[in-house]
Amino acid sequence: MNRFLFLESDLKSFTGDPGKFVKSRSVYSTQKTPAAVAGAVIAGAGLGWKIFEFAWNNAEGDIYVKLARLEGAKHPSDDEEKYKNKGVWKEKTVKVYGKVVNKLVETSAKFDLRFKYNGHSVGYIDMDHTHSNDSVFWGLHVEAKLMVDPNNYKSNKGGQLMSMIEVTFNYRFTRTGRDDIIKIKRYKLYGDGTVIEK
């Protein structure tokens, strides 16, 4: 089941106040969450896929997160008919963790990054904010971005053509009277299930 199918129709029909954004975990298509959908915009689209970005969400204290989803999948050469059923779709979860420690006190946020792949194509990307640790005098903004790579790649697990999508988590740690600290977590997700962290 494509767990993102409800998003576009709900975005078109929603008439509420987008400023009333309610903290919510990521959901599957069997769970409609109008508050989360209200803060979503279509940030990019291509043949067989769409990127949705959500509004900033106050997760805890001075910690804010802005996440993204990808509906559909990127296929090699955008040939959806050839590749969408060419292999068995599998799911993988990547643990994302960014932090700073000041005088033994940690400011941090953790996420589960999930995606699907079938040996060639990659997509159906979702994110959950799973944990955060707030601390006095520190703030944190985490923004996730998706970038669909138009190029084809050759798999080291069989030599077949495959696609790639890059996911970036930008952690901006703020502190009173001091410069911000920026840490970037970058992940390349390939159609054969390979994950490369930069």
Question: DSSP string spanning 14-42?
Answer: --S-TT---------TTS--HHHHHT-EE
How many angstroms separate the CA atoms of 157 and 10, rounded?
39
Mean pLDDT of the chain: 84
- Report the sign of the C-alpha dihedral through residues 1, 118, 8, 33, in that order: positive
pLDDT, tens digit (0-9, with 9 covering 90-100), for 139-186: 999 999 999 999 999 999 999 999 999 999 999 999 988 999 999 999
Q: What is the pLDDT of residue 13?
A: 38
Cβ distance 178 to 147 under 8 Å?
no
Q: What pTM was computed for the model?
A: 0.79
For residues 61-93, b (16+ Cβ closer than 10 Å) or e, as one string?
ebbbbbbbbbbbbbbbeeebeebbebeeeeeee
Q: Are strands 122-133 and 68-74 parallel, antiparallel or unpaired?
A: antiparallel
H/E run at residue 100: strand 90-102
How many angstroms separate the CA atoms of 113 and 78, rounded?
23
Q: What is the pLDDT of residue 176?
A: 85
Q: What is the pLDDT of residue 31?
A: 25
Q: What is the pLDDT of residue 177?
A: 84
Cβ distance 53 to 96 under 8 Å?
no
Q: What is the pLDDT of residue 69?
A: 97
Residues of the chain under the 50 pLDDT cut: 1-37
